[in-house]
Structure 1
Amino acid sequence: MEMSANFIMRLFNRFLLVMLYLGVSVNQTSAAPVSETGYKNTQYGFDSNAIVAIKITGKKDFCSGVVVGANEVLTATHCVYGLKAQTYYPSNTVKIGVGDNVLHDTVQWFDVTKISPRSSATIKTVNDFLGNDVVSLVSTDVLPVTPVPIASYTQKNTPFIAWGFGEDEWGYYGIKKSRPLENAALDEKLISFSSGACRGDSGGPVLNTRNEVVAIISVSKVPHCVDAGKRIAQRITSGLIDEKHR
């Protein structure tokens, strides 16, 4: 049976419309801002996708950070501040990465529109970062994660967990991980500890047992993860409560 030219043309046009629709649907799906583990990974009791990577365009080193608002990230000041120039890097060179492996191309990078220091101190040397090492980054877009709450107080003699993308015991870095702080000691501004954070973890959060942010990993003179030495985290909560007075 022969088909008319008009019928064939109508059939062909319908085929094109169907293919166009499918193509648009696929493109819209693939453009969704998801990380390697999806929008929300709660196997640790909170959305671990809120632990993010921080990098400066044109530089190989990276830091860590934590999402605490819809488009707000806390990280370490020394991660986004150039000591030589004694000023912050331009905000448009700072990127926030959502994903599990900094070196993997599935990490989604978001632009930063503003850097908001939490301290007005003048920083000229590495030592000036101590007690002045927390900064807020404001992303251009809403980040596709559930923010981590900030603790209203810090309990003494309780476990603390550090999160970040830092070096592990074998020298590999760039993969998100958590480690307990060993021998943690608190004062009014800082938490000092002997192990639990390494190079690349700077700017990452220290969480309490309620998965709340109590501190941000700060500067350290310890070169490698396996080396002994004092590490520092800067507290972002002011209150101190003994475990027995909870």
Structure 2
Amino acid sequence: MFGFNRVTKTAAVCAATAAAAATALLGAPSAVAAPQPIVGGTTTTTTAYPFMMQITDASQNQFCGGTLVAANKVVTAAHCMVGESTSSVRVVGGRTYLNGTNGTVSKVSKIWINPDYTDATNGDDVAVLTLSTSMSYTKASYVSSSDTGVYAAGTTARIVGWGTTSENGSSSNQLRTATVPTVSDSSCRSSYGSEYVASDMICAGFTSGGVDTCQGDSGGPLLIGGVLAGITSWGDGCAEAGKPGVYTRLTTFSSLVTTQINS
């Protein structure tokens, strides 16, 4: 079984990673996941989700998502930021289409990666970016450390992103969204065994598959009741039956995020 972080980079990087997947348990930050972007979902806009940010390289090629939680702070996945620097990353707000030129583009002045994150386990997968240019868009609220009840099995959650449309394929040009139910810890452990760490992670998806985040959606939000409750992290392929998406359990890291927002 291979668990893949849900990041997309350039086509050359993706192809090389796909070849390496046969021998690697966990992919590097550019690892290729199986097909479909938020399968079963619909197109949407950044007007509907104004806090949804594109995380791009310096040439504005999107490779991860992020959530605006303060005017100059974006929450994303730690694995999105491994190997990156403030000079290599940009954050784009208010841009529904990847090929658009509208919205606000900001450089990044600081990258905080949870110091406990390791790509060997995919746990502790949270990072916070400090923007050089403040964003005027509506911010998302996020869970507090005491909001653990939001993850009750079967709770409807919303996923948002620009994930790929096929294995090794291109990203969805327009932002997409879908709803998925949260999955119990016991069921997710049945799917992933010891790779699933309940204190760090939460699963969401249908038993039959068909709806999921995928490559390029990493770092984007898992919203419950309109509040940021998780971060798109990893999964075994995409939208496969019995293999729900795995998200960072944000209640565990809420206080760390708050510290970064206030720094």
**TM superposition score category, shorter chain reference:** 0.5 to 0.7
SS at match of 2:234: coil
Q: Does 1:216 align with 2:209?
A: no
Which residue, out of 87, 90, 112, partners 2:108? 112
Residues 50-105 of structure 1: per-residue CA shift (max 9 Å, x gap): 101101236956110100011000011111113xxxxxx11121110111112222
Matched residue, 2:69 = 68
Matched residue, 1:197 = 213
Matched residue, 2:89 = 94
Give the Å deviation of 1:146: 1.4
SS at match of 1:219: strand
Give the Å deviation of 1:226: 5.2
Matched residue, 2:120 = 127
SS at match of 1:217: strand
Structure 1 unmatched runs, 5+: 1-36, 83-88, 240-246
CA contact (8 A) 1:134 1:216 kept: yes
Amino acid corresponding to residue 120 of structure 2 in structure 1: N
What is the TM-score with the length of structure 2 in the denominator?
0.62
Residues 14-64 of structure 1: per-residue CA shift (max 9 Å, x gap): xxxxxxxxxxxxxxxxxxxxxxx7xx83x5xxxx12101101236956110
CA distance in 1, matches of 2:101, 2:115: 37
Deviates more, 1:94-103 or 1:54-63: 54-63
Amino acid corresponding to residue 97 of structure 2 in structure 1: N
CA contact (8 A) 2:108 2:132 kept: yes
The 3 A distance-change label for structure 1 pair 53 and 122 is closer
CA distance in 2, matches of 1:75, 1:122: 13
SS at match of 1:237: helix
The 3 A distance-change label for structure 1 pair 190 and 122 is closer
CA RMSD of aligned residues (A): 2.8
SS at match of 1:181: strand
CA distance in 2, matches of 1:95, 1:206: 22
Give the Å deviation of 1:231: 2.0
Equivalenced residue count is 184
CA distance in 1, matches of 2:78, 2:223: 19
CA distance in 2, matches of 1:122, 1:136: 13
Matched residue, 1:231 = 245
CA distance in 2, matches of 1:227, 1:60: 27
Residues 136-188 of structure 1: per-residue CA shift (max 9 Å, x gap): 00000111211100122142132111112213479652421211124523432
Matched residue, 1:17 = none
Give the Å deviation of 1:197: 0.9
The 3 A distance-change label for structure 1 pair 188 and 122 is closer
SS at match of 2:87: helix
CA contact (8 A) 1:174 1:200 kept: no
Residues 207-230 of structure 1: per-residue CA shift (max 9 Å, x gap): 112x111110002341xx555534
The 3 A distance-change label for structure 1 pair 199 and 122 is closer
Q: Could you tell me the percent identity over the aligned residues?
A: 24
SS at match of 1:92: coil
Which structure: larger Rg? 1
What is the TM-score with the length of structure 1 in the denominator?
0.66
Deviates more, 1:188-197 or 1:154-163: 188-197
CA contact (8 A) 1:214 1:237 kept: yes
CA contact (8 A) 1:112 1:139 kept: yes
SS at match of 1:145: coil
CA distance in 1, matches of 2:230, 2:105: 24
Amino acid corresponding to residue 73 of structure 1 in structure 2: V
CA distance in 2, matches of 1:107, 1:205: 19
CA contact (8 A) 2:213 2:239 kept: no
Give the Å deviation of 1:196: 2.3
